[in-house]
Amino acid sequence: MQINRKKTPGFEEIKKIKYIKAKKTSLKNGIPVHYINAGTQDVIRVDLLFNAGVWFQEKPLVSSTTNALMGEGTKKYNSQQISEKFDFYGAHFNASVDYHAATVSLYTLSKYLNETLEVLEQIVKHPVFPIKELENYIRNKKQDLTIELTKVKTQARREFLKAIFGENHPYGHVIEPEDYEKVNTKQLSDFHKCLYNASNCKIVVAGKIDDKVLKLINRYFGGKDWQGKENIEIKKFAVKTTKEKRIVVEKKDAVQSAIRIGCELFSKTHPDFIKMQVLNTVLGGYFGSRLMTNIREDKGYTYGIGSVIFSFKESGYFVIVSEVGAKVCKDAIKEVKKELKCLREELIPKEELKRVKSYMLGEMLRNFDGPFALADAFIGVDAYGLKYKFYDEFVQTIKDVTPAELKKLAVKYLDDKKMIEVIAGKY
Amino acid sequence: MIEFKRKTLSNGLKIIVHTDKTSPLAAVNLLYNVGARDEDPDRTGFAHLFEHLMFGGSINIPSYDNALQSAGGDNNAFTNNDITNYYVTLPAENLETAFWLESDRMLSLAFTEKSLEVQRNVVIEEFKQRYLNQPYGDEWLLLRPLAYKKHPYLWSTIGKEISHIENARIEHVRDFFYKHYAPNNCILVVSGNVNPVKVFSLAEKWFGPIEKRNVPVRNLPVEPKQTKARKLEVERDVPVDSLYKVYHMSDRKSKDYYSTDLLSDLLSNGKSSRLYQNLVKEKKMFSQLDAYITGSIDAGLFVVEGKLADKIKMKTADQAVVEELEKICTKPLKKDEFQKVKNKVESTLVFSEMSILNKAMKIAFHELIGDAADINSEPDKYLKVTPADIKKIANEVFAPTNCSTLYYYSKKQ
């Protein structure tokens, strides 16, 4: 049988994205629980989310340090006992903060849920913030940061955020090594007391979920023993973008320069958000993007270049990110601007746009694959006050958006004269 | 338990299919049995450079990526010292697109000068980005030739030096392709929402017509036993001193591999592990300290590496590590401690089987080193390890003469 290798064997367009939605229930004390029963493995992930991110802190590092130290000693267990317990059951405990939310997560085999939840309860409700653990944490984190600060990409990222949002805005604030000296245990226990309580909590559970799982969660977190203040005050911060257009951080021996070029954008809730995702994908959001095709695959200036839209609750930004050979830094930036100009002045060819649309829909399928991905997808809308409807609109908008609409958006949002350039390394 | 079906085509291509109907996707993984260890010592970095060229257009299809993205697919690849592995995920109904693309680049590449020239530059930038322009980026460029004297693991996947990449010519590329890229040197694994019968027939249709090639039999120099401790000291523009100790260990197929892997878990898997508890938290000698194995197919390395805490002297830190290693060689393990690492084996396994792509990669790797079915029997091999095995292997591996030490000093001091 002779086959035609020059021609695609044909493929189906993705028409609809089917995915499992989170179901909602609540604990006896009113904490909302969103659960996703999916997957083949007997595993469970439990996330407790609190409005206790960076936005809510009075002093630098208080939010992240509180979150990180909750697992380092409680009334009942010391730090070593906690890690021994989790490790013994093959469970994984993770604590993280972003600008708005603080999360404590437990990954466990279903059969050890009871034993591991018992430890999680202690961590969430009764942390004691031992001074010894704080000192250890500070010592190590401070050193990590010193190492991090020698990287050109870190330098560029920090200067860029400061420039876009201003240092007094939570999105623009960056940590300095000496900030670590100023954190004390009282700040941590106060922050914990105020924000880590049932009234400020939401739970997301994913994996093999049945009534027994929900009962156990109720047992450990459903009591009235950890209520707090309702309606936490949410502060306002003003964005103060710098007037400078180019910021250069010199590093004399750099063989590559890190570049960041971008501007403030908006949150996920903005009406142009989804269409901008399409435009961004064309420009620098996938391997076949224009930036990759031109600056890596045609010129060979870099190992990688891309553009990203970061969206947070109150704002967001657009940024082009790369590390390029120090000698070709200026040329690379020139090419970036050429690509932006092209999006503003010319319509995206139909074939290219079709490919981007297919790729994005495929990406959505990948983002909904598996119970943990489904949990992330839920959090990805819920954190912004959006509903699952967002994803349906996402699919529809991707399908419908036209080259003319995208050109208009490029004129509106991708004007390099309004962007800030940061170069760390040699320029 | 991962179930699968297998078939071998007459050209030698092995196909393994694992069905998982809970996913809307299919994952396609092609493992080519070629890595940096197969390179000419004067032309290193080639397997990896070649991986880049595999995206530069094949004989009938000018752009691999465009064609795949149009079908909603995504892909990537990695090269290490042992293998080159390519993988695709795409909507299950578009599976054939992956077969079309992958079979064409196995058939032949376009071999254009332009693609070679650009990818040479891209790889040179990768070399700079990952190995030269990062603090501690050159650690493995120093450690490999310290630990290996004969075996080709002595160079990194990126290559010994940039000039090897600069000197790559199109005839070397063509030669490398026909030597190593062949149906009889590849394992194709498909997992996800797929029907094995359909997969086998697609494989026959697209890969069947590709002829078997003459793949040279691998005959690598064996690394002679190290009989004397080795040491290297360097000074770099980094903020913090760093210590590395690497020890020779068994190959991937040896029974000892499992005890050595558990040994590294006892020392360093999780916050409750010995090195973290004793040297980071109690003695405060390090800010980070890890122990792990390289897991390479030929005899590998057991690595201990850490960043020193402020004001701690390199020798003091080194001595503290040695004492911890001696402890595990001489004193009995706590019962709970041993049970803990075994439990962790089970949970790591269960979590790793959540993703169809992960499963496909693991199946392919097991097939390469023995039999895909080992993916299911491997946990038992871990569970059979006894405390006596751990002690025995610790004494063998941590012999002082088996060690290469790197003192990586911060210039400031």
B336 touches chain A (CB under 8 A): yes
H/E/C letters for each residue in B365-387? HHHHHCCCCHHHHHHHHHHCCCH
Contact B71 A11 (CB under 8 A): yes
Which one, of B343, B335, B20, lies nearest residue A109 by Cα?
Answer: B343
Residue B412 is predicted with a pLDDT of 74
Pairing mode of beta strands B242-248, A420-425? unpaired
Contact yes or no for B5/B16 (Cβ under 8 A)? yes
Nearest beta carbon to residue A90 from set B74, B133, B344 = B344
B18's enclosing H/E stretch is strand B14-19
The pLDDT of residue B196 is above 90: yes
* Residue entry with tokens 């320069």: A257
Average pLDDT over residues A377-404: 97
Q: CB-CB: which of A12, A147, A363 is closest to B93?
A: A12
Could you report the per-residue pLDDT of B43-53, keeping only the tens digit for each? Answer: 999 999 999 99
Look up residue A77 and give its DSSP letter.
Answer: -
**A18 vs B24, B119, B269: nearest CB:** B24
Q: Using one digit for the tens of pLDDT, what is the confidence trace for B115-172?
A: 999 999 999 999 999 999 999 999 999 999 999 999 999 999 999 999 999 999 999 9
Instruction: Report chain B residues whose CB lies below 8 A from the CB of A143.
Output: 239-240, 287, 307, 309-310
Any A CB within 8 A of B2 CB: no
- Is the CB of B62 inside 8 Å of chain A's CB atoms? no
Give which of B129, B144, B159, B137 is closest to B39, Cα–Cα: B159
Question: In chain A, what residues touch B334 (CB-CB under 8 Å)?
Answer: none
* pLDDT tens per residue across span A391-427: 999 999 999 999 999 999 999 999 999 999 999 999 9
Whether B413 shows a pLDDT value over 60: the answer reads no
DSSP E strand boundaries for B208-285: 230-236, 242-248
Say whether B91 and A43 touch across the interface (CB within 8 A).
Answer: no
- List the domains of chain A with CATH numbers: 23-221 (3.30.830.10), 246-425 (3.30.830.10)
Q: How confident is the model at residue A253 (pLDDT cuts 50, 70, 90)?
A: confident
H/E stretch holding A325 reads strand A316-325
Q: Which of A41, A88, A362 sits opposite B350 (nearest CB)?
A: A41
pLDDT of B68 higher than 80? yes
Determine contact: B132 vs chain A, CB below 8 A. yes
Mean pLDDT, residues B29-53 taken together: 96
- Which residue in the set A40, A256, A300 is minimally distant from B128, CB to CB? A256
pLDDT for residue A229: 85
On whether any CB of chain A is under 8 Å from the CB of B72, the answer is yes
Give the gap in angstroms from C-alpha A155 to the nearest C-alpha of chain B: 12
Average pLDDT, stretch A377-395? 97
Residue A224, min C-alpha distance to chain B (Å)? 32
Give the domains, in start order, of chain B with CATH numbers.
5-207 (3.30.830.10), 230-410 (3.30.830.10)
Q: What is residue A247's DSSP assignment?
A: E
Which residues 346-385 of B are in CB contact (within 8 Å) with A? Answer: 346-348, 350-351, 353-356
Residues A193, A226: Cα–Cα separation, whole Å: 10
Q: Is the pLDDT of residue A1 over 80?
A: no
* CA distance to partner chain A, nearest, from residue B276 (Å): 10
Interchain contact, A358 vs B70, CB within 8 Å: yes
Taking only the tens place, the pLDDT of each residue in A80-90 is 999 999 999 99
C-beta separation of A50 from A41 below 8 A:
no
Task: Say which of B91, B238, B270 has its CB closest to residue A14.
Answer: B91
Q: Do B72 and A14 touch (CB under 8 A)?
A: yes
Query: Which amino acid belongs to residue A336?
Result: V
pLDDT score recorded for residue A15: 86
State the best of A16, A365, A374, A398 to mutate against chain B, taking most chain B CBs within 10 Å. Answer: A365
pLDDT tens figures, B354-395? 999 999 999 999 999 999 999 999 999 999 999 999 999 999
Residue written as tokens 């800030």? A420
d(CA B67, CA B101): 8
Q: Identify from B123, B133, B267 which residue to disrupt to test chain A contact, counting A C-beta atoms within 10 A and taking the largest count.
A: B133
